[in-house]
Structure 1
């Protein structure tokens, strides 16, 4: 008895993919199906009549997928269908079997090829006499995943054509209702993950619940993706965590998309939370290892984490990606990471950032070294921080008060039971000077400023006395400005006069802050005449050498001078007010009111522009007031070179 033949159909090919296919199955028919062929002797008129009769046999007629109420995603008839070819044998789709056309239809919908899916549907309906069914509509719904051709409105239009919202057995226009099955719902959810529509997605989920259709893990991934697109981050993350807790498969692309979207909208902490979830899933699958992301996503996480000053997250990304050499961050990201390391005192991280920058031959500037100094200070390594300052000085990088500002903030923090930090810093600088290294004056100025901030004026004076032996450049104008501030706080006018005289002997040019603080010292020590003399000299001194703009005190100092003149019943307050109003468009109302109340109104109107000098001359000529004691420092300031230069330029 001959062996029983077997049928090499689709089920057999699925169960036994390695079995050689039969020639009848592998060979693609090169002719149209027999049902559509006319006898050879039929004329063209008879062929056209037979085709029309076959089309009329369809209950949907010739208008399907092109009539007004159907989704009009294309136009034309079979004659204008694009000749899409099979990728294997380059055969037009119109010559394939019905079974293969359905296969191509599902593939075109999955790839988002809407035009191709619509063309295949027209072939099936008009050429093969197939009635519109769920397979066709599911493929069209699936094709809306295309970012170009798909929209949520088109999805609604197709669902309306299927009669999704219609009650009973008929849809719009009397057309038979086509039920949406589980696969169709999943196709809609996938399209809504690209084109989010919260209301439509809710209706689909409620429809699935009413029909007892299960939401597959793939569909849950699409629901989360749609929530992320709609910026419903809390709901999306809650559902994501619930899926992980129930051990539902979470696609890798969903986690990557979640991180990108969260980073885009500034939810950096939540993005790193998703990264931890992905790392947890990866460890659960493989037992070891970390999350696998693209280099672009790792770089974005590092950049955003460093900008947000997220220390743990930034260090984690740097350790597992940058240190092994997998990721090469940009220079801006390296600066942000260096700022994170400086804030938290992570010397190892800061040193590794410098390693990366050195490999790309970056020219280090003040910004890099300042962050490194702050890193060592936050790590409580004062010697290393001062050593970095000396390295900057040796490489001819300018060091000023701003560069040493982190050092000042560190030195002024007084801890009970700990020795004086300014003195400790001075001792370290002395050791550096003994070993032959150059010490910048700005570093010693920071020590003096910290002592004054701690209200240790005598300690600041002691540091100033040894400044000449530590720094070969000697004190500068900023040094004396800091000391004048200490004299004002301690009300030590005699020390201020001594320092002013020494400043003249060193040939240092006073600036606006020097005069302003000397005026403040005199006012706090109730020396109005000396304060006015410094004010007059300040108004005769140019801001810069060769400039026509003269110095002027700060607003509070100006107001303090006028208030003291009013209190002393000194008419020079009128001239001060006029000069003050020329530079301050909105003076404090209380000052002007006090001066008007104390002096006559005519004095405010008739006073000459140089009233201050005129009143002073008149007062000296009439012998009013006692003789003013002028120290050697004041004589040097008032009759010195700066006042003469200022008067000549004016």
Structure 2
């Protein structure tokens, strides 16, 4: 069909009187022949734009190349330069853009081209020989062409029709319309625009909002009109998880802008906004967008969107509403994401709802299957951490039995074992101590021993408490010996759990039983059954706490029998007994013990001075020695800063006695920065004294 049309046009041009029209007709015929398989010759300037051509009355064919070369579609029409008719120069009527002559630019014919040129006239298809060769080119002769080429014109010989088609279709970087100041084709049918959109989508998928916005700005500079997909890509970049909620305001502004442009937001845009709100505390904005999404555009959140809404409720502290939505989704059989489970469990842990967190964990196990999936150990870790932080013994025991086993030699080889870190192990150990579960405490010790963790005082204090609160005093005392063997120093609070266990029932029989255990240690051949001074002091403190000072002195006199040497803490316990077990405090006994302490060469600490100060302060008559101990205490305490409660004791006693030194003590408290403690004394009446604390 193409070849006859070209022949008729050329024959009609041979009879044309106007040289320019003949030149234009010849150029169009040559362009037709190049597409039909001939060697292509660049087109000469055409007389007028293609829009001005009409159907030839003689031949019945259109003079428009767009219709003649139908396979090009609308591409031929984009090759004209659009001219403002109001400012059009008559000499430029024949100025149109030529066919693309290189890979980077388009050539515009000069308006000063000679008007009286006459193209060489050739008879079409003269001496056509399919296998003849062109002597000038040395290649095969082009079908349907004369062997004589017009002067000054370049010849192109594409090897195949596919190559010719590639030459006629502009590449993806073709932005000719934008370069010429026109509005380009803003559709995926334009390869250049399609390339830009692919780039924008790729940037949006990687969560690079700055680069996406730069790409959108570049597209606008090239003359492309805004599209809904471009807005969607920008909002998607804002909603990338690594951006959190910091791009929330920008995304909402883009939503308003696209609606102002006349676009209707789709489900993808709204769900990307919900993704942003999953990390945002802005409850009002989320509710507004969700309401608009449902009531205005009739878009219901899908499963993914429901996860974002649920996560938003958790982020804003609406845990009850989140649980209602969770139960509703589960009742419908919808799958809850793994991360959503984790967020629910963490949120419940923050409000100490361990029981509810355990219920969610059971739902998680039902939905996600066995531990072989490789995901659940992390989930169990979160729940174990929450349960241990809240001292929930049932939850800790269940999870420990369920997933904590002996760590393998290579932790990466087993996905079915939870290997808790050292911090979590200490939390579990403290939980076992609080609830008197020595079995669980020993499990933690086994894990830490296999890991080679060096034990410290808090580990043994928890183990001792687990035994003592379970009523097992013998292993509790043995643990103290084990601490000494490992050169771990005890503190005054290490054996507090033993004191609590001995006094919990209020029966002195427990103290007698503990003392008997210590005597058995003396006669035992087991090297781990040695009476430690910390255990001895615990029995002594239990006697004082039960108010039996006489029994406490009796235990003290057995130091030699039990092979223990009293220390400063031993005497501090006895001084406290002099205050708490006698009214008024037994100052005579306290002075006897103080002299014995001095003879043993033991140095008093600030606790020693506090107890002796109370013994002197609460005597019925003279309490002047209390001020002596106060001054000596300042030399012992670092920086001379005595604890505020000591001044409270003295101020209360002076106010009760109407002593004029009361104001001096209050002023000294102010100078030391104890303003909060002074408030109760300012303006106090001389007849009524505030009740001192910690006496």
TM-score w.r.t. length of structure 2: 0.56
Aligned to 2:247: 151
| SS of structure 2 residue aligned to 1:469 | coil
Distance 1:348 1:268, change over 3 A: farther
How many Å apart are 1:119 and its aligned residue?
9.5
How many Å apart are 1:454 and its aligned residue?
1.4
Aligned to 1:235: 321
How many Å apart are 1:432 and its aligned residue?
0.8
Residue 350 in structure 1 maps to residue 413 in structure 2: no
| SS of structure 2 residue aligned to 1:375 | helix
Aligned to 2:391: 309
Distance 1:271 1:135, change over 3 A: farther
| SS of structure 2 residue aligned to 1:323 | coil
Say whether the 8 Å CA contact 2:480–2:534 is kept in structure 1.
Answer: no
Write out aligned runs for 1:363-382 (5 A). 363-382=454-473
How many Å apart are 1:385 and its aligned residue?
0.9
Aligned to 1:215: 301
| SS of structure 1 residue aligned to 2:561 | helix
Say whether the 8 Å CA contact 1:343–1:374 is kept in structure 2.
Answer: yes
TM-score w.r.t. length of structure 1: 0.60
Structure ranking higher on relative contact order (CA contacts 8 Å, 6+ apart): 1
> In structure 2, how many angstroms separate the alpha carbons of the residues matched to 1:536 and 1:160?
76
| SS of structure 1 residue aligned to 2:333 | coil
> In structure 2, how many angstroms separate the alpha carbons of the residues matched to 1:589 and 1:229?
46
Residue 449 in structure 1 maps to residue 532 in structure 2: no
How many Å apart are 1:430 and its aligned residue?
0.6
> In structure 2, how many angstroms separate the alpha carbons of the residues matched to 1:395 and 1:34?
90
Distance 1:219 1:55, change over 3 A: farther
Aligned to 1:627: none
Among 75, 88, 97, which residue is 1:36 paired with?
75
Aligned to 2:476: 385
| SS of structure 1 residue aligned to 2:480 | helix
> In structure 2, how many angstroms separate the alpha carbons of the residues matched to 1:487 and 1:122?
85
How many Å apart are 1:222 and its aligned residue?
2.8
Mark the runs of 5 or more structure 1 residues left unpaired by the alignment. 1-31, 66-91, 164-171, 568-572, 595-650
Aligned to 1:280: 363
How many Å apart are 1:422 and its aligned residue?
1.1
> In structure 2, how many angstroms separate the alpha carbons of the residues matched to 1:293 and 1:275?
17
How many Å apart are 1:365 and its aligned residue?
2.2
> In structure 2, how many angstroms separate the alpha carbons of the residues matched to 1:132 and 1:403?
72
Among 440, 457, 462, which residue is 2:554 paired with?
462
Say whether the 8 Å CA contact 1:493–1:522 is kept in structure 2.
Answer: no
Aligned to 2:428: 337
Among 519, 530, 551, which residue is 1:430 paired with?
519
Distance 1:279 1:484, change over 3 A: closer
Write out aligned runs for 1:100-139 (5 A). 112=207, 137-139=231-233
Q: Deviations over 1:498-555 (max 9, x none)?
A: 9549827964557476677678668878675xx76x779969989989x999x99965
When the two chains are superposed, the root-mean-square deviation of aligned CA atoms in Å is: 5.5
How many Å apart are 1:427 and its aligned residue?
0.3
How many Å apart are 1:399 and its aligned residue?
3.8
Aligned to 1:45: 108
Say whether the 8 Å CA contact 1:275–1:291 is kept in structure 2.
Answer: no
Q: Deviations over 1:69-126 (max 9, x none)?
A: xxxxxxxxxxxxxxxxxxxxxxx9975997x998887776555566887899999999
More helix by proportion, 1 or 2?
Answer: 1
> In structure 2, how many angstroms separate the alpha carbons of the residues matched to 1:540 and 1:54?
96
Aligned to 2:144: none
Among 250, 256, 263, which residue is 1:160 paired with?
256
| SS of structure 2 residue aligned to 1:178 | coil
How many Å apart are 1:344 and its aligned residue?
1.4
Say whether the 8 Å CA contact 2:537–2:569 is kept in structure 1.
Answer: yes
> In structure 2, how many angstroms separate the alpha carbons of the residues matched to 1:50 and 1:474?
100
> In structure 2, how many angstroms separate the alpha carbons of the residues matched to 1:148 and 1:504?
67
How many Å apart are 1:374 and its aligned residue?
1.0
Q: Deviations over 1:41-86 (max 9, x none)?
A: 8872279998479996xxxx45989xxxxxxxxxxxxxxxxxxxxx
How many Å apart are 1:314 and its aligned residue?
3.9
Say whether the 8 Å CA contact 1:414–1:420 is kept in structure 2.
Answer: no
Mark the runs of 5 or more structure 2 residues left unpaired by the alignment. 1-70, 80-97, 110-169, 408-416, 672-677, 688-695
Say whether the 8 Å CA contact 1:255–1:274 is kept in structure 2.
Answer: no
Write out aligned runs for 1:502-541 (5 A). 503=596, 507-509=600-602, 511=604, 528=622
Q: Deviations over 1:17-48 (max 9, x none)?
A: xxxxxxxxxxxxxxx97643668588722799
Aligned to 1:13: none
> In structure 1, how many angstroms separate the alpha carbons of the residues matched to 2:189 and 2:440?
61
> In structure 1, how many angstroms separate the alpha carbons of the residues matched to 2:186 and 2:434?
68
Write out aligned runs for 1:434-583 (5 A). 434-436=523-525, 437-470=529-562, 472-488=563-579, 489-490=581-582, 496=589, 499-500=592-593, 503=596, 507-509=600-602, 511=604, 528=622
How many Å apart are 1:272 and its aligned residue?
8.1
Q: Deviations over 1:557-584 (max 9, x none)?
A: 86799799x79xxxxx99x999989977
Structure ID, larger Rg: 2
| SS of structure 2 residue aligned to 1:159 | helix
Aligned to 2:9: none
> In structure 2, how many angstroms separate the alpha carbons of the residues matched to 1:485 and 1:368?
28
| SS of structure 1 residue aligned to 2:566 | coil
Distance 1:251 1:272, change over 3 A: farther
